[in-house]
Structure 1
Amino acid sequence: MLWHHDNNRIIRDAMKKKFIPDTNVILHDSGCIHQFKDNSICIPITVIEELDKFKKGNNVIHCNARDFLRTLDGLSSDCMLTNGGAPMENGEGTISILLDLPMDEKVKSNFNGITPDVRILNIAYCHARTHGFDKVVLVTKDVNLRLRARSMGVKTENYQSQYVKDPLDIYSGMQVIENIKHEMLEHLFQKPYELDVSNLLQAPSLLANENLILKNGSSSALACFDAGRQTIRRIQSRVCYGIKPRNSEQAFALNAMLNPDIPLVTLSGKAGTGKTLLALAAALETRRSYRQIFIARPVVPLSNKDLGYLPGDMASKLDPYMQPLYDNLAVLQNQANTQGEGRAKPISQLLEDEKIVITPISYIRERSIVRVFFIVDEAQNLTPHEVKTIITRAGEGTKIVFTGDIMQIDHPYLDSQTNGLAYIIEKMKGQKLYAHINLEKGERSELSELASQIL
């Protein structure tokens, strides 16, 4: 029996793989080493060296670097530098540190310069030659490094522990229900403007706060499903700070953002659909219910360089990133003036008094997010860990609105399946505290919509 047990262990060990994570995987998710089940995790010493450069700072990647190094220190033992490696906390799998190896002639002849990526690739290639090319897997979010590894015959994977399976099939936040009885539609247009969901016998299963377009021939009504009361409530178009919704999707978006019972809202859609403008209008319309309005964007540095590398003071560094937000506020000011509401001065005054704060997302970490209307623009450039950090810091009376286009990614290590906005939509759908709407129709201009469709 003892031999049989040991024999099974030998068979299991033979089937295990050696996963070699790149630095960007750890900066993306500090807990990544817990995602490889009972396999062996091998950390190149080059990765440890690179993490040392990220351990100082207040951004999420700096926190991830520190968290990972602390975790690794807690697992450290004398066997971490040997072939066996140190056992993981759960007793399954091992973790070890791979010291640098002399450059293999094949690696050296194909890649110019000994960069950190080449050193990591060399370690992966040498270990694949020793242990088998089917047993060693280089895990990286760097597309170029994956291509380099494959050219050398090294197996490689993108790190996808937090991803959406099919971004084209992502939850839209609304559905159309045809052939509603005429008397049901009439009932929705009379007080209290709602009806019991059981009256919609042909309706498919509904998610909490899902938006509906109910149709009977040429007659229709916009509605939303209240999961708590199991009712369908009609949505009436509302003007927010001079902005009137131009289509049903925009009406749905404003309804969700104006509802105090829904503290988390996501708006997705291509450029020109009005995501940011609607969010700003809703924030200004309801500003008396909140202590402050925070408007933040992730700063995706050019060539992976931090803002500190750019010339000028902090204001001049941030202006190119934040200018679209100021442009939208200017539109709201002009719209309010056109409507004769006299609200242009309050917006500029709110900015001056810091009732409206426009800032990069990394500068929000130290602020108190209590009774705040918090708009996070371009959220598709955030990681799942970053959006979780933001949401978990929300205090009482805070509303968070994420906006972005999940198909337009600027972050070098994110894509349509792994970005934070898509992750929220997929994981939060159906929750009573959450609402989502995908804006499809462009409303910026006829020319903008034409370019979006055919170029």
Structure 2
Amino acid sequence: MDRDSTLRVEKTTSLKAVVKKTYVLDTNVLLHDPTAVAAFKQHHVVIPMTVLEELDHIKDRRDKTVSREARIAIQMIDKVVDNASPQDIQAGVPVPGSTPEDVPRGTLAIYPDQRLIGDADVPYLDGTQDQANDNRIINVALSLQAENPAEFVCLVTKDINMRIKAKGSGLIHVEDYRRDRVLDDIDLLARGYEHVEGDFWSMISEVDTLREGNCTLHRIPRKSLPQAYPNMFVHDDQEFIAFVQRVDRDFVYLRCDSRDSLMHKRFWGLSPRNLEQAMAMSLLDNDSVDMTVMTGPAGSGKTLLALAYGLHAILEQNKYSKLIVARSTPPIAEDIGFLPGTEEEKMAPWLAAFDDNLEVLHGTDESCHGSITYVKERANIQFKSLNFMRGRSFNNAYIVIDEAQGLTQFQLKSVISRVGADSKIVVLGNLAQIDNKYISPLTSGLTYLVEKSKAYPHAGIMHVNGIVRSRLAAFAEENL
């Protein structure tokens, strides 16, 4: 044996110990994601008493959406601290499921901020009852930072002004809640199609052709189309267009389509005005696609396409027994409970867009109003508020969720989980028109849904571009 081999020294790498960080959560984080207490892995989560008080007030509000999430957040906290002593709750209780079994669990503590008093050494904000609760929550983070200057103490809030106040008060670490952020840039959001410049086949190194039932598929290497996912379209400048039938680890399976056949598709008298509308109509009419998500600017025809297919599928094909149109209602004084009439009549102010689209589809009829009334009855069109859909199941139904960009991922999940057997759901939204102060295009439930469902073989995504309302609408969307 070579003497040198007996003296060989294996190279070792020293692993740094994971630094445990402390995160102070604002109320809006728990309303945005009621399971947030388990989202910080092996770190220490602190919930100020003020947050619990705010959750207690919110859980009894008339606004069913936010009150439900407040109750779920309270129940999550209760599961963690249920059997712990007061001393343990203030020190930190292990959070079940926050980490894998072989990794130290994160901890959750309740901070009694009512005990905080003025301290010349700590730059506390005014925490009296006359001041906003935000100040008391910021003061908790300032206190923990002063007590543990060598540790990482961070305030997590979705309130932009609160983040500015906290930084201005001397808090070193302040962050937005990013667990729900699935993209770094909204321009990376899946669009449902990929345009290849020039000739598509010139970039393909190898291709096999195989027959599956009545369908001819072209199998190409996955590396030739690395961003491919099921039910997306590929087209080039040479009139080529194909549909991604499925994707596996090594190959992408394409089904060639004809632009002419796509552009000549008709639903309830409606034909596409551009290729994106045509591809969206193809997805809607695909029986293997249980959920279609359509994004795009105002006036691109999303609602009209969804409604036209619903009438086509129910009245001409007898696929479904009812058409359910739903959207969230704003939690302000004109809550639907204050309006007279049935649920459909109460929802009318927020679903007027569907009546407008019915007028488009029947505008040339001799009696437009009579046609719309007749269609509503025959198609069994029901208008619902998302606030009252939870806890119900909808079977053999065609469901349209409108204005989904203002929903959180938790809200969208709770609605989609209501879809029953033999049903199809269509989710519509415009990420440029978010009116929820705690939601951005990157954290919208619609963005989350697109990214999480694009790999699911029974979901289809399409970004419908091109304003079809008028040249003035196109100008407004692009320039104002």
User: Which residue of 2 is the match for residue 225 of structure 1?
Assistant: 244
User: Aligned AA for 2:326?
Assistant: A
User: Aligned AA for 2:450?
Assistant: I
Mark the runs of 5 or more structure 1 residues left unpaired by the alignment.
1-10, 183-191
- How far off is 1:108 after superposition? 4.1
Provide TM-score, normalisation by structure 2: 0.80
Cα distance in 2 between the residues matched to 1:328 and 1:129 = 59
User: Which residue of 2 is the match for residue 171 of structure 1?
Assistant: 190
User: Aligned AA for 1:157?
Assistant: E
2:155 to 135, 138, 143: 138
User: Which residue of 2 is the match for residue 246 of structure 1?
Assistant: 273
Q: Secondary structure at the match of 2:428?
A: strand
230 and 383 in structure 1: CA distance in 2 versus 1, 3 angstrom threshold: same
User: Which residue of 2 is the match for residue 147 of structure 1?
Assistant: 164
1:30 to 25, 31, 34: 34
Q: Is 2:284 the partner of 1:264?
A: no
Cα distance in 2 between the residues matched to 1:180 and 1:88 = 51
Count of residue pairs brought into register by the alignment = 426
Q: Is 2:139 the partner of 1:122?
A: yes
Q: Is 2:333 the partner of 1:333?
A: no
260 and 313 in structure 1: CA distance in 2 versus 1, 3 angstrom threshold: same
User: Which residue of 1 is the match for residue 207 of structure 2?
Assistant: none
Cα distance in 2 between the residues matched to 1:364 and 1:295 = 11
In terms of mean alpha carbon deviation, does 96-105 or 423-432 score higher?
Answer: 96-105
Q: Is 2:305 the partner of 1:285?
A: no
- How far off is 1:285 after superposition? 1.0
User: Which residue of 1 is the match for residue 373 of structure 2?
Assistant: 348
103 and 243 in structure 1: CA distance in 2 versus 1, 3 angstrom threshold: farther
312 and 394 in structure 1: CA distance in 2 versus 1, 3 angstrom threshold: closer
What are the residue-to-residue correspondences of 1:374-385 with 2, within 5 Å? 374-385=399-410
Cα distance in 1 between the residues matched to 2:163 and 2:333 = 24
User: Which residue of 2 is the match for residue 16 of structure 1?
Assistant: 20
In terms of mean alpha carbon deviation, does 204-213 or 260-269 score higher?
Answer: 204-213
Cα distance in 2 between the residues matched to 1:146 and 1:433 = 41
Mark the runs of 5 or more structure 2 residues left unpaired by the alignment.
1-15, 98-103, 203-212
User: Aligned AA for 1:88?
Assistant: V
**Percent same amino acid at aligned positions?**
28
Measured on the aligned residues, the alpha-carbon RMSD in Å equals: 3.2
Cα distance in 1 between the residues matched to 2:33 and 2:26 = 11
Does structure 2 retain, via aligned residues, the 8 Å contact 1:300–1:411?
Answer: no
- How far off is 1:212 after superposition? 2.4
1:93 to 106, 116, 124: 106
Does structure 1 retain, via aligned residues, the 8 Å contact 2:392–2:418?
Answer: no
1:234 to 252, 257, 271: 257
In terms of mean alpha carbon deviation, does 318-327 or 160-169 score higher?
Answer: 318-327
- How far off is 1:110 after superposition? 10
320 and 104 in structure 1: CA distance in 2 versus 1, 3 angstrom threshold: farther
User: Aligned AA for 2:299?
Assistant: G
What are the residue-to-residue correspondences of 1:346-425 with 2, within 5 Å? 347-352=372-377, 355-425=380-450
- Bigger proportion of residues as helix: 1
User: Which residue of 2 is the match for residue 64 of structure 1?
Assistant: 69
Does structure 2 retain, via aligned residues, the 8 Å contact 1:373–1:399?
Answer: yes
User: Which residue of 1 is the match for residue 178 of structure 2?
Assistant: 160
Cα distance in 1 between the residues matched to 2:52 and 2:478 = 46
Cα distance in 2 between the residues matched to 1:181 and 1:40 = 54
- How far off is 1:73 after superposition? 2.0
Q: Is 2:63 the partner of 1:45?
A: no
Q: Secondary structure at the match of 2:382?
A: strand
363 and 432 in structure 1: CA distance in 2 versus 1, 3 angstrom threshold: same
- How far off is 1:174 after superposition? 0.7
